[in-house]
Homo-oligomer: A and B are copies of this chain.
Amino acid sequence: MTSAEDAAHIADVVRDPSGETLVAARTVGPGVPVLAFDVGGTDIKSALFDADGTALGLRRTPTPAADGDRTAVLIDRLGVLAAELQADHPDVIPRAAGLVVPGIVDADAGLGVFASNLGWKNSPLRDLAAARLGLPVAFDHDVRAASWAEHRLGGARAYANSVVLVIGTGIAGALLVGGEPYTAGGYAGEIGHSPIADGPVCPCGARGCLEMVASAGAIARRYRDATGIAPDGAKDVIARAAAGDPVASEIWDSALDALTLSLAQLTAVVAPEAIVIGGGLSRAGGALFDELRARLTARLSFHRIPALVPAELSGNAGILGAALRARELA
């Protein structure tokens, strides 16, 4: 890509109406400056973290579209975003970059193994990004990086054995064992795609996945399918349930039951000290946390009920985790 193309891309990004400036909940503390990218199916968060650990230029921009494998357009866009951050902050020279992506990730090999909405299969994202950026790149799964940030900086920092769940469009999870991420080659933590019972077929190909019933996205979709009314997200469905809407009540109740079953399995088998819940659904507050705590306690017996605590880093845990990972390289 030429500089002229770069400039045109930057202009696209700047002009994009869905670009959004964000503020990080925490610094990552002192260290070398690093770039960080949190790539999702619909948007990319990018920032330059300075020597104090403050996120400079943190913003959300759309993930570039492409048919099939979006590796090439993504790597290209990371280069553009990096150039833009550098242009805005010429005195802050990054020594490494952190890149986190969704799906199945082989962090050790630097591979994006699979991501249903990004189209890649075994894509060497770490090495491609390193070549494009001219920096060493730390590469990880987005929710594992987010959970690492929650562990180091946020809601999980008091616990050596914890599970971080992000309940939004889908449900993603990450385990911390003995204070370290437990990844099982990238296959661990797929709580959203764990079957809870017979249920609808999931886009992943399995049947009865938790996130088809209990994600924020599923709760809103189920209400719309049942009533023809498009709710303003899961939060609206929960509010309608509280106000006595019987359809909303049934959907919210069944979502809570499904989450309870999954958390009960997790409690019996893994017995984490805490389950940290973030993502859009966590903003339901007591309606979520108090209900889950009560149902989990009713459902189990001698088991050690984990503390259920809200994530603290809001939507920025992923990019904070990417910055922490990059710092570990630099």
Contacts and interface: CB of A to CB of B under 8 A. Distances in A.
A73 interface: no
Contact of A265 (B175, B202, B262, B273): B262
A304 interface: yes
Contacts of A273: 184
A299 interface: yes
A100 interface: no
Copy total for this chain? 2
A269 interface: yes
Given A177-B177, A264-B195, A265-B265, A271 B187 contact: yes
A301 B193 contact: yes
A270 B184 contact: yes
Contacts of A194: 264-265, 268-269
Interface string A258-276: 0001101110111111000
Interface in A161-177: 161, 173, 175, 177
A30 interface: no
A205 B302 contact: yes
Interface string A197-215: 1000010111100000000
Interface string A281-306: 00000000000000000011111100
B304 A193 contact: no
A304 B268 contact: no
A182 B178 CA distance: 9
> Contact size class for A?
35 or more
A161 B300 CA distance: 26
A190 interface: yes
Contact of A299 (B114, B206, B261): B206
A184 B206 contact: no
Given A202-B301, A204-B301, 16 more contacts: A114-B302, A184-B271, A184-B304, A185-B304, A187-B303, A188-B269, A190-B268, A191-B268, A195-B261, A195-B264, A195-B268, A195-B300, A197-B261, A205-B302, A206-B299, A266-B269
The 3 closest A-B pairs by CB, nearest first: A205-B301, A194-B268, A187-B271
Interface of A: 104, 114, 161, 173, 175, 177, 182, 184-185, 187-191, 193-195, 197, 202, 204-207, 261-262, 264-266, 268-273, 299-304
